[in-house]
Amino acid sequence: MSKYVYGIDVGGTSIKIGLFDFNTTKLINSFEVKTPNKDDGKVIFETIYKNILDNNHNQEIELSSILGVGIDVPCPVKNGYVESCANLHIANINLIDEMKKYLPGNMVVTIANDATIAAYGENASLDKPYNNAVLITLGTGVGGGVILDGKIVEGSTGFAGEIGHIKVYDESDKVCGCGSKGCLEQICGTEGILDYTKKLLISQSSMLDTNNLSVKSIFDAAKVGDEVALETIHRVAKYIGIASSIISMVIEPDIFIIGGGVSKAGDFLLELIQKYYKENARFSTGKIPFKLAQTGNDAGMIGSALLVKSLIATE
Binding site for its own copies (CB under 8 A): 76, 83-84, 132, 146, 148-149, 151, 153-163, 165-170, 178-180, 183, 242, 245-254, 280, 282-285, 287-288
Q: Please say whether the beta carbons of 40 and 60 come within 8 A.
A: no
Q: Please say whether the beta carbons of 17 and 6 come within 8 A.
A: yes
Toward its own copies, which CB reaches closer, 208 or 288?
288
Least separation, in Å, of the C-beta of 176 and its own copies?
Answer: 8
Q: How far is CA 17 from the centre of its chain?
A: 17
Q: Please say whether the beta carbons of 91 and 82 come within 8 A.
A: yes
In terms of DSSP H, where are the helices of the chain?
43-59, 95-100, 114-124, 184-188, 190-203, 215-223, 227-250, 267-280, 299-310
The DSSP output letter for 168 is: -
Toward its own copies, which CB reaches closer, 16 or 235?
235
Toward its own copies, which CB reaches closer, 76 or 300?
76
Angle at alpha carbon of residue 131, lines to 127 and 135, rounded to 5°: 80
Toward its own copies, which CB reaches closer, 77 or 99?
77
Least separation, in Å, of the C-beta of 141 and its own copies?
Answer: 13
Q: Please say whether the beta carbons of 103 and 69 come within 8 A.
A: yes
Least separation, in Å, of the C-beta of 303 and its own copies?
Answer: 19
Closest CA to 249 of 209, 212, 285, 202: 285
Least separation, in Å, of the C-beta of 103 and its own copies?
Answer: 27
Phi, psi angles (nearest 5°) of residue 64: -70, -15
Least separation, in Å, of the C-beta of 156 and its own copies?
Answer: 5
Toward its own copies, which CB reaches closer, 69 or 184?
184
Rounded to whole angstroms, the Cα distance separating 131 from 224 reads 38
Toward its own copies, which CB reaches closer, 34 or 287?
287
Least separation, in Å, of the C-beta of 86 and its own copies?
Answer: 12
Angle at alpha carbon of residue 296, lines to 292 and 297, rounded to 5°: 155
Q: Please say whether the beta carbons of 78 and 84 come within 8 A.
A: no
Toward its own copies, which CB reaches closer, 102 or 159?
159
Toward its own copies, which CB reaches closer, 169 or 268?
169
Amino acid at 23: N
Least separation, in Å, of the C-beta of 154 and its own copies?
Answer: 8
List CB contacts of 281: < 8 A, sequence separation 6 or more: 244, 245, 248, 288
Least separation, in Å, of the C-beta of 151 and its own copies?
Answer: 7
